[in-house]
Amino acid sequence: MPDHPTIYFIRHGETDWNRDRRYQGQQDVPLNETGRTQAQRNGLALRVFLPSIAEATFVASPLGRTRETMQIVRRELGLPADRYDIDPRLMELSYGAWEGTLQDDLAEHDPDGFAARSQDPFRWRPENGESYADLLARVKLWSGAIRQDCVVVSHGGVSRCLQAHLLGLAPELIPELECPQDRVLILSGGAMRWL
């Protein structure tokens, strides 16, 4: 999609649940101090695009960890912290019954689900949750509606889906794509780079 607007994508900073490798999904877990430092780093990194980036659309997932990350990023850019949009299509993948579970405990917590996910990580859906296929459909709807460059603060699953969609990658690769919390992903002209 070479004519697609540029997306400056930031994954929210670290939370205690990220640190502990606990499934968050759509649970509203706050940033920790490491996460706030990561958000500051990403805001500082975006300064190289001033003043033009100030004209971009700024949009975040409605969860608190993304909103706090966005506010920190905007402060680092010298912009009013609270002037950005919220879009529920940018919410993280729902892990349903898995939310709150440590990754290391999954095999014991839900042995059948754990086995099923290993067979098809892209299409598998936890009880009361979403699959990556579901999330990809949601992300495509959001992506198709943007008309100008934007700074996005969202989640790891959304980052993976955007990468696959905008770069033309096989959807089955989505669960394995990189999505660090201390780098800005720039998607532009059918290519990507990390800042």
Which residue numbers are catalytic? 12, 92
CA 74 to chain centre: 17
Radius of gyration of the chain, Cα coordinates, nearest whole angstrom: 16
Give CA–CA dist 12/68, Å, rounded: 8
Helix/strand/coil for 186: strand
Give CA–CA dist 35/52, Å, rounded: 26
Q: What are phi and psi of 88, to 5 degrees?
A: -65, -20
Tokens of 43: 């805001």
What is the rounded end-to-end Cα distance, in angstroms, of the chain?
A: 21
